[in-house]
Amino acid sequence: MALITTDEQEALRDVMRAFLRKYSAEADVRAQMDSDRGFDVQAWETAAEQIGMQALAIPEELGGAGYGFDELAVVLEEAGRTLFTGPVLPSVVLAPAVLLLSGDTGARERYLPSLADGSRIATVAVSEDTAMWSETDITVSATRDGDDWLLTGTKRYVLSGAQADLVLVAARTGAGVSLFAIESPATGLTIEPLPVMDLTRRLASLTFDRCRAVLIGEDGTGWITLSQVFDQAIAALACEQVGAAAAVLEFTVDYLKVRQQFGRPIGSFQAIKHRCADMLVELESARSAAAYASAAIAAGADDASVAASIAKVYCSQAFYHIAAESIQMHGGIGFTWEHPAHLYFKRAKSGEVLFGSPASHRERIAQLIGMN
């Protein structure tokens, strides 16, 4: 169990931070918000070449660095701090996890080396009607066609769905939920980018009309894989949220120390101070929840699912509250497009909804701890 980082992980943090200072400054993030693609391909390639960011959690024999979730947690926290627009969550966390946990050695060898070197962007398409991952929600169907399968139906809320070269899709066969790979673009695949509120994180709807796909893993075992990946997904999101919330609190406190009204810094008023103290307690509690969930996942602990949902609820709400308070404490300037407060505020809300609302995760916890 590792609830505190090692020196090696802190060194990784320093490297990430230096990279992000150069490639994910506010101006870079805003430029990508206005771009069609939504992220900087050159920065993505640089991250692969200089840091090996995409390779971290991929085994060495498949072109990776062979680290685990603890290291991903550091990368995610730093990426979250700057609202880095690169597809870290789908292509560095989710897709490699699906491939590794699927037990499909052929698919691993086919795809993971190109994910590790950053040359291929991958995502996972699970959600349909709700953003929560739910086995019973899966209606996209797959029917066998020779060695391949044909997929029909619609996936929604697919992270980087319009940017990914490889889409791993959860679809229903006669044997149950199974996983399929589609190399995008593909015949029978229609991609509709969603008009997202948070432009730093792009999502799309993917509609399949007899779209040719390759089965990943054994037919009917997809949900076993996805339920494990789900814990990684929400814990990863929580790590991002901790980093982002820390950044918001820092720039807010800095402002409160210099902004003068009534002849004194507004940060000297208790009406402000006490709320900042609450924000710090929330941030540190969120940090603990995310660290515990990450450590539980890295260790394969029994309570990893409960811990991940706890982190999802707590970190989502803490980040949202801190981001909302930041706008208020900045006053008029905090409500402008030019100020970064709204970027974090929107990221907070988009993360709260992604992979299921806090209320749906409370219900998940209730069921996991036997509150029936």
Partner 1 sequence: MDIDIAPEHTDFRDEVRTWLSEHLAGEFAEHRGIGSPTDDAAWDVRVEWERELSAGNWLGLTWPREYGGRGLGMAEEIIFEYEYARSAAPARVNTQALDLLGPTLLAFGTEEHKQRFLPKILAVEEMWGQGFSEPGAGSDLAAVRTKAVADDDSWHIDGQKVWTTFGHHADWLYVLCRTDPDVALRHRGLSLLLVEVHQPGVDVRPIENLARSTEFSECFFNDARTPADMVVGGVGNGWRVVMATLGMERGSALMPMQLAMQREVTDMIDAAKTSGIVDDPLIRQRLVDAYIGVNVMRSSNLRVVADLLDDTAAERGTATTASANGSKLFASLHHQLMGELALDVYGAEAVYGAGDGPAAAARKLFLLSRAETIYGGTSEIQRNIIAERVLGLPRV
> Which residues contact partner 1 (rule: CB under 8 A)?
1-5, 7, 10, 253, 256-257, 264-265, 267-268, 270, 272-274, 276-278, 280-281, 284-285, 287-289, 291-292, 295-296, 299, 301, 303, 306-307, 310, 313-314, 359, 362-363, 365-366, 369, 371-372
Phi, psi dihedral angles at 273 (to 5 degrees): -55, -45
Q: How far is the CB of 7 from partner 1 (least distance, A)?
A: 7
Nearer Cβ to partner 1, position 15 or 194?
15
User: Is the separation of the CB atoms in 183 and 239 below 8 Å?
Assistant: no
What count of residues does the chain have? 372
> 354 CB contacts (<8 Å, ≥6 apart)?
131, 157, 159, 201, 237
Report the nearest approach of partner 1 to the CB of residue 286 (Å): 8
Shortest gap between Cβ of 31 and partner 1 (angstroms)? 32
Q: For residue 125, what are the β-bridge partners?
A: 169
If DSSP codes are grouped into helix, strand and coil, which group holds residue 206? Answer: strand
H or E stretch at 214 = strand 203-216
Nearest 10 degrees: CA dihedral of 21, 22, 24, 30?
120
Residue 211 parent element (H or E): strand 203-216
CB of 219 to partner 1, least distance (A): 35
Query: In the complex, what is the shortest distance from the CB of residue 69 to partner 1, in angstroms, rounded to a whole number?
Result: 13
Q: What is the DSSP string of 130-162?
A: SSS--GGG---EEEEETTEEEEEEEEEEEETTT
For the bound state, the minimum distance from the C-beta of residue 4 to partner 1, rounded and expressed in Å, comes to: 5
